[in-house]
Amino acid sequence: MSKSHAGKRVLVTMGDLCGIGPEIVAMALGHPQAGMAAQLCVVGDAAVMRRAMAWAGVQRPLLRLSSLDELENLPPHSVALWQPEGLPQGLLDCAIGQIAAKAGAAAAHCVEAAVAAIQAGAADALVTAPIHKEALHAAGIGYPGHTEMLQALAALDGAPAPVRMMLANNELRTVLVTIHCSLRKAIELINVDSVLETLRIAQAAMLKFGIAAPRIAVAGLNPHAGEGGLFGDEEILHIAPAIALARAEGIAASGPFAPDTVFMRARNAAGHPGEFDVVVAMTHDHGLIPVKYLGVEQGVNVTLGLPFVRTSPDHGTAFDLAGSGRADASSLRAALNMACELLP
C-alpha cells in the first residue's frame, strides 16, 4: 500500500448468511493482508460469524464490540465484530445454500447499520460481502442490489446522488451507464445526459485513483458501434454527443468504439500497455463480462458517486459452495485493499 491507513476504520458486512459471504469475511479478516493498517470490523451476527470461522478454519478469537470506538484497543490476532441491534433472531436456522427471507433481511440490516455508522463518523469505508437479490425481495426490500440500496441510504437530503458501478482488476476497469435492469429498459435509459453524467463520474473516480489525466474509452451499444447508423442510431443520437460535451469540459473521452474490441485495447497486461485507463460501457453485461473473464478472484466492484468509499467482491453468494470450505476470499481481499487505497 502506498498510503498510511492507521486509525482508519473499514466496516465489512457479512452478506447473505446462506451463501459464502460470512466464510470469505472470516478468511479475509482472520488472515489480513500484510501491511493493512486499517482497523477492520465485521458488521453481522456473532453466531453466524463463529460458525463461518469454524468452517473456514480461522482459529482467532472473535471479539464482539459494544461500540466501534473499541477498535482502538483491539487485541492483536483477533477479529472484531459489531452486531447491530435489530437483527432477526434464529439466523442459524436458515438453510445454507437456499434463499431465505430472514437472511435477506439480516443482510440489508447490516448494510443499513454500517452506512449509518459511517454517516455518524464512526467509520470511514464500507466493504460488502455478497447479498442475494431474491432473498432481498423475499424480505420485502425493494432494491435490486447493493448499488441502489446504498444510493438511497446515502441520500440524507433531497434526491439521491447519481451513482455508477465500476468493476476493476489489475488489467481493466469498466464503468456502467446502466446497471440492474432489463436490457430493453437499459436501452431506454441511454441518452445524452446519462452518458455524460457517467463520463463525469468516471473522470472523478480516475482522479481519485491517482491518474492525473484519465483516458476514457466509450463503448458503443450496437454491433460495430452502429456502423454509421446501419445497426442502430444510439451512437449518433446519444453517445457521440455526450462524448463531445465531455471533451468540451476537458474530459479525455473518445469513441464510441465497437464494444467487441475496445476492451482488448484498454487491457493493461504484460507486454500490452492499455490504450485507456477505463472503459465506459452502456449496459451491465457489456461492461462486466470482459472484467470477469479475466478472473473473478481479483475483480472488485466499486460504487462511484457515494459520499464514502464502498467496494465489494465481483462475485455472488455462491450458494453451491456455502459451508463446503471451498470458497475463495481473493476477491474480497482485493476489495479490502482497494477500499483502503481509495481512502483520503
Residue 15 has pLDDT above 80, yes or no: yes
pLDDT of amino acid 2: 41
Q: How many CB atoms are closer than 10 A to CB 101?
A: 17
Q: Which 8-state DSSP code applies to residue 272?
A: B
Interatomic CA distance for residues 301 and 299, integer angstroms: 7
Interatomic CA distance for residues 8 and 110, integer angstroms: 20
Q: How many CB atoms are closer than 10 A to CB 178?
A: 24
Q: Tell me the HSE value of 54 on the side-chain side, using a 13 A CA sphere.
A: 6
Among 64-78, 103-117, 179-193, where is mean pLDDT lowest? 64-78
Q: End-to-end CA distance of the chain: give it in Å, rounded.
A: 13
> pLDDT grade, residue 159 (50/70/90)?
confident
Predicted TM-score (pTM) of the model is 0.89
pLDDT of amino acid 226: 87
Q: Could you name the CATH architecture of 1-161+328-344?
A: 3-Layer(aba) Sandwich (3.40)
Question: Mean pLDDT throughout 154-175?
Answer: 88
Give 290-340 pLDDT, tens digit per residue.
998 887 678 899 999 999 999 999 889 999 999 988 899 999 999 999 998
Q: Tell me the HSE value of 204 on the side-chain side, using a 13 A CA sphere.
A: 13
Question: Mean pLDDT throughout 278-297?
Answer: 90
Q: Do domains 1-161+328-344 and 170-294 have the same CATH topology?
A: yes
Among 11-15, 101-105, 148-152, 260-264, where is mean pLDDT lowest? 148-152
Question: Mean pLDDT throughout 123-129?
Answer: 96
The sign one gets for the Cα dihedral 22, 23, 29, 32 is negative
Give 27-74 pLDDT, tens digit per residue.
999 887 655 678 999 999 999 999 999 999 999 999 999 999 999 888
> pLDDT grade, residue 186 (50/70/90)?
very high
Question: Would you put residue 232 in left (φ > 0), alpha (ψ -120 to 50) or beta?
Answer: left
Cell of residue 62, nine digits: 472473535
CATH topology classification for 170-294: Isopropylmalate Dehydrogenase (3.40.718)
What letters, b where the CB count within 10 A reaches 16 and e where it falls short, cover 254-291?
Answer: bbbbbbeebbeebbeeeeeebebbbbbbbbbebbbebb
Residue 1 has pLDDT above 60, yes or no: no
Q: Where are the domains of the chain?
A: 1-161+328-344, 170-294
